[in-house]
C-alpha cells in the first residue's frame, strides 16, 4: 500500500513556539513510519517557513532552524505553474496528502493558518477556521458556552484601551463584579502563558499589565476552591470523550512552568470521581466541543468546586499539547487508544472531513 505523505508543521510566531517544538518531536517519534512519509516543516518566530530533514532531537532543542534546507520550496498556494507540495533541489516533487499542524496559540490555533489550508484544499488535522478562532478567543468562547447553558465561574473582561484610559475605574468595576482571588488571562493565548493570580488590587493591576503584553483584551475570573479536571475529545460528527484526568499543580496554579517545565505536577488518570460525575463531565466536554463546531480533536478543561462538587467549564483547547507529559494523549492512552493509534485516528479524521466537504 502506498504511504500517505504527511507534512508535520511546527514552530510558529506565538509565545508557545517551544511547546510546539516539543509536541512535533514527540509526534514524529511515534507516528507509524510504515504507513506515513513524514515531511517536517518549521515556522520560525519571524514567520519564515523552512524545510527540515534530520534528527528529531534537533526539532525539540531548536537547532532545526539553522540546519534547515533553505533551497527546498514549500508550496501551499495553488498557482498555474506550481503544484501544491514540496519541491527539492534535484527537481523531485512530493505531493502533500495531509497537513498535521502542531501549532499552539496565535497564528497556529486561531484559524489563521487553517484559512490557508482551506485555500490549499488539502486535508488537515484539527479544527476548522471558525472553531479554531472561537476556541482560541477565550472571551468569545465564554459567550458561546454561556449561550449553550454550560456553567462557568463568574468572569468579566477589560481592554487595553479602556484600562489605559481610566485604570482606576476599570479596577473598581472588576472588584465590584467579582471577588478575590482573581485569575487574569489574555483573551487569545494558550498553555497558560501570561496568566497570573491576584489576591489584592496591586497584584490585579500588575497581572492585567502582564496579560496585556500578549493581547489587547484580558479576561478576569473569580477564583474558586476547585479541583482541575480535563477531558480529551475526538471525532467529527461522531464524537467521543476520554476518561477525565485530574491535575495537581506543582505550583499554586497550573501555569506555563507547571505544564511544560516542571515535571513535579501530578496527573491522576482517571480522576478520582464517581461514575455519575465522570459521565456528566464527559457529556459536558462533548457539548462544549460541538458548541463551537469543533472537529478532529480538542481538550476541554473543567473546575470541580470542592465544597459543592459543582462542575464548571473552564476552556477548550483546539490544538492541545502533544508533549510527553501532555494530558491529551495520556487521557486517550488511559481510555484504550495508544499514542501511535491516536495519531492515526487524527489523520483519518482529517481526510474524512475533507472528503465529506468535497463531496457536497
CATH of the domain at 336: 3.30.470.20
Task: Encode pLDDT of 56-107 as tens digits.
Answer: 999 999 999 999 999 999 998 877 667 789 999 888 999 999 999 999 888 8
Active site residue 196: no
How far apart are alpha carbons 19 and 12 in whole angstroms? 10
Q: Is 306 annotated as a binding residue?
A: no
Same-domain pairing of 81 and 115: yes
Interval 196-222 mean pLDDT: 95
Average pLDDT over the chain, rounded to an integer: 92
Active site residue 326: yes
Same-domain pairing of 165 and 241: no
Q: In a 10 Å sphere around its CB, with 0-12 CB exposed, 13-18 middle and 19+ buried, how is residue 80 labelled? A: exposed
Looking at residue 264, its pLDDT comes to 58
Q: Is 301 annotated as a binding residue?
A: yes
Cα separations in angstroms, 148 against 64, 75, 187, 229: 44, 40, 20, 20
Tell me the pairing of strands 36-43 and 4-11. Answer: parallel
The domain total for the chain is 3
Active site residue 16: yes
In the numeric block, the cell 501511535 is attached to 340
How far apart are alpha carbons 336 and 333 in whole angstroms? 5
Q: Answer whether 262's CB lies under 8 Å from 250's CB.
A: yes
Q: Is 295 annotated as a binding residue?
A: no
Cα separations in angstroms, 215 against 119, 195, 206, 314, 344: 27, 11, 15, 19, 35
The span from the first CA to the last CA of the chain, in angstroms, equals 28
Same-domain pairing of 238 and 345: yes
Interval 178-188 mean pLDDT: 94
Range of the domain at 34: 4-124
- Kindly tell me if the per-residue pLDDT of 256 is higher than 50: no
Provide the 3-class DSSP secondary structure of residue 53: coil
Q: Is 224 annotated as a binding residue?
A: yes
Q: Is 22 annotated as a binding residue?
A: no
6 φ/ψ angles, rounded to the nearest 5 degrees: -110, 130
Looking at residue 249, its pLDDT comes to 77
129, part of any domain: no
Same-domain pairing of 278 and 145: yes
How far apart are alpha carbons 117 and 99 in whole angstroms? 8
Interval 276-290 mean pLDDT: 98
Please report the DSSP string for 118-144 in residue order: HHHT--BSS--HHHHHHHHBHHHHHHH
From 207, 222, 237, the end of a domain falls on 222
Catalytic residue among 16, 18, 230, 246: 16
139, part of any domain: yes
Looking at residue 40, its pLDDT comes to 97
- Kindly tell me if the per-residue pLDDT of 251 is higher than 60: no
Catalytic residue among 68, 132, 232, 326: 326
As given in the structure block, the three cell numbers for residue 173 are 468595576
- Quickly count: other Cβ atoms within 10 Å of residue 242's Cβ: 27
Same-domain pairing of 252 and 289: yes
Q: Is 283 annotated as a binding residue?
A: no
Catalytic residue among 68, 133, 191, 196: 191
Provide the 3-class DSSP secondary structure of residue 210: helix
From 182, 198, 222, the end of a domain falls on 222
How far apart are alpha carbons 68 and 66 in whole angstroms? 6
Q: What is the pTM of this model?
A: 0.91
197, part of any domain: yes
Residues 6+ apart with CB under 8 A from 162: 170
Interval 186-190 mean pLDDT: 77
Q: Is 253 annotated as a binding residue?
A: no
Amino acid at each position: 500500500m502506498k504511504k500517505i505523505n504527511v507534512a508535520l508543521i511546527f514552530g510558529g510566531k506565538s509565545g508557545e513556539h517551544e511547546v510546539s517544538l516539543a509536541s512535533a518531536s514527540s509526534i514524529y517519534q511515534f507516528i507509524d513510519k510504515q504507513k506515513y512519509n513524514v515531511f517536517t516543516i518549521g515556522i520560525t518566530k519571524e514567520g519564515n517557513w523552512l524545510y527540515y530533514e534530520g534528527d528529531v532531537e534537533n526539532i525539540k532543542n531548536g537547532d532545526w532552524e539553522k540546519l534547515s534546507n533553505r533551497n527546498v520550496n514549500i508550496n501551499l498556494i495553488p498557482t498555474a505553474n506550481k503544484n501544491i507540495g514540496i519541491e527539492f533541489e534535484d527537481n523531485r516533487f512530493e505531493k502533500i496528502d495531509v497537513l498535521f499542524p502542531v501549532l499552539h496559540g496565535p497564528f497556529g490555533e486561531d484559524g489563521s493558518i487553517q484559512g490557508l489550508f482551506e485555500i490549499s484544499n488539502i486535508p488537515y488535522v484539527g479544527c476548522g477556521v471558525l472553531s479554531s478562532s472561537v476556541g482560541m478567543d477565550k472571551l468569545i468562547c465564554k459567550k458561546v458556552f454561556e449561550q449553550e447553558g454550560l456553567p462557568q465561574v463568574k468572569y468579566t473582561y477589560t481592554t487595553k484601551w479602556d484600562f489605559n484610559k481610566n485604570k482606576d475605574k476599570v479596577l473598581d468595576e472588576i472588584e465590584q463584579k467579582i471577588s478575590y482571588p482573581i485569575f487574569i488571562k489574555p483573551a487569545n493565548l494558550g498553555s497558560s502563558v501570561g496568566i497570573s493570580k491576584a489576591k489584592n488590587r496591586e497584584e490585579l493591576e500588575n497581572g492585567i499589565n502582564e496579560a496585556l503584553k500578549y493581547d489587547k483584551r484580558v479576561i478576569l475570573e473569580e477564583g474558586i476552591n476547585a479541583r482541575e479536571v480535563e477531558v480529551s475529545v475526538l471525532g467529527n460528527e461522531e464524537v467521543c470523550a476520554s476518561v477525565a484526568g485530574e491535575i495537581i499543580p506543582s505550583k499554586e496554579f497550573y501555569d506555563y512552568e507547571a505544564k511544560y517545565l516542571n515535571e513535579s505536577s501530578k496527573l491522576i488518570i482517571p480522576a478520582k470521581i464517581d461514575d455519575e460525575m465522570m459521565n456528566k463531565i464527559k457529556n459536558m466536554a462533548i457539548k462544549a466541543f460541538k458548541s463551537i463546531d469543533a472537529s478532529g480533536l480538542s481538550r476541554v478543561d473543567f473546575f470541580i468546586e470542592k465544597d459543592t462538587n459543582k462542575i464548571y467549564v473552564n476552556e477548550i483547547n483546539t490544538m492541545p499539547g502533544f508533549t510527553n507529559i501532555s494530558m491529551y494523549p495520556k487521557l486517550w492512552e488511559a481510555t484504550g487508544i495508544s499514542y501511535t493509534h491516536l495519531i492515526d485516528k487524527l489523520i483519518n479524521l482529517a481526510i474524512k472531513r475533507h472528503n465529506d466537504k468535497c463531496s457536497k
